[in-house]
Amino acid sequence: MVRSGTAGQAGGVASLDDVVDDLYGGALDDFVARRDAAVRAAKAAKDKATAARIASLRKPTVAAWAVNLLVRDDPSLADALRDLGEGMRDAERSLDGPALRELGKQRRALVSGLVARARRLAAAGGQKLSTAASQEVEQTLTAALADPRVADAVAAGTLTHGTEHVGFGSADASPEGERAGVVPESGTSPARSRSEGTGATRGAGTRPGVRAGGRPGAAASSAARADRGDDAPGTSDDAAASSDDAAGSGGGRTRPSSTTSAKAAAEGRERARRAQEAERLRHRHEHAVAAREAAEADLDRARTRHEDVATAEQAAVATLEDAEREQQDAYAAEQQLVEALADVRRRLADARAALPRADEALVAARTRARDQEKAVRAAARELERATKAAERARDQEQRAADALP
């Protein structure tokens, strides 16, 4: 979760640790503004040294800021990276193929999940991780799994840029870090990746493989031989053998000690040969593991692209089928409308043709109606006359009846 920045605000001068924590745990957009405010606050407090150190703090890249958000959102993430990285290094040292494959799956699942979480955290902080930034987050987390020094830098939560693990296998095969393969984006040496990869300024430390008072590379080569479990050929045993040979040559015969030393030297050379062969096989295995993982990643990407294309194709086919059905429905509806229009036109023509006859029939009907009306009125008058005549006849009949004796 992104915190709102408070560095350099009123209410007292914050310590350098508090300023670093606030800057690298806050929003990315106002990093420079909050850093400048903290510098002004330190200068106002007459603390020029702290002001200078705050001013030297570099703004992180979007990817480094997202990684910082991850470890600040879940502090247990640092231990998870260390544990899985240590397990992978143990499996590499023991050449445990099944364990390497299982741990490789765990690594891919962990890194993939963390990249997805980093996108969500960045979005919540107002930043959208681009494809390049997401790849840089993935590379940094992978480097943290391969190199414990990078894991420590990630755990600090003050990265300013991403790192990348170059090569195969883990970085601790050489205790002095000669084979670490972690290269900061700025192109600095691996020994300085941790100090320059964090926001707070740290010392560069000694050079890889150099001991105090010793020659460069002596510590690394000795540690490498100790890690292989063999004696260095051509050193103590060869010196002893040479001394015994020199002493025995004066007597004209080889003493038993010379034979023992030669045998020990031969055994040392055989151990060195076996160690070199084991190292060659280990490198071959590392290359094979890396090639397999790359092939699996390519296969996953190809499957994803194939699934996307297949899904798009299915959607396009479904859209085309819908369009064809809609076109057929439109044609059918158009045909129905055409037929209905033709029928309407036929009925209209028939109606127009029948209209004169209807007009004539209407005139004739009106004439007949008037004639019938006249006949009805005449019949009514005739009925009225007949009624009156009948009444007069009944009156006459009544009078005649009354006149009878």
pLDDT single digits (tens) 140-150: 999 999 999 99
* SS3 assignment, position 244: helix
Interior/surface letters 13-46, b for 16+ CB within 10 angstroms, e for the rest: bbebeebbbbbbbbbbeebeebbebbbebbbeee
Domain ranges within the chain, ordered by starting residue: 58-196
Looking at every residue in the chain, the average pLDDT score rounds to: 76
Q: What are phi and psi of 10, to 5 degrees?
A: -65, 155
Query: Is pLDDT at 324 greater than 90 in this prediction?
Result: no
Q: Are 299 and 178 in contact (CB under 8 A)?
A: no
Q: Per mean pLDDT, which of 9-13, 64-68, 105-109 is the most reliable?
A: 64-68
Q: Are 165 and 200 in contact (CB under 8 A)?
A: no
Q: Are 164 and 183 in contact (CB under 8 A)?
A: yes
Amino acid at 323: A
In this prediction, residue 341 has a pLDDT band, given cuts at 50, 70 and 90, of confident
pLDDT at position 385: 93
Q: Can you tell me which residue has the tokens 């692209």?
A: 305
For residues 16 and 200, what is the distance between their CA atoms, to the nearest angstrom?
9
Nearest to 100 by CA among 227, 278, 287, 274: 287
pLDDT at position 198: 43
Which residues are CB-contacts of 368 (< 8 A; sequence separation ≥ 6)?
none
Dump pLDDT digits (tens) for 12-46: 567 899 999 989 988 899 999 999 999 999 999 99
* SS3 assignment, position 203: coil
Dig out the tokens for 236 from the structure: 């103590």
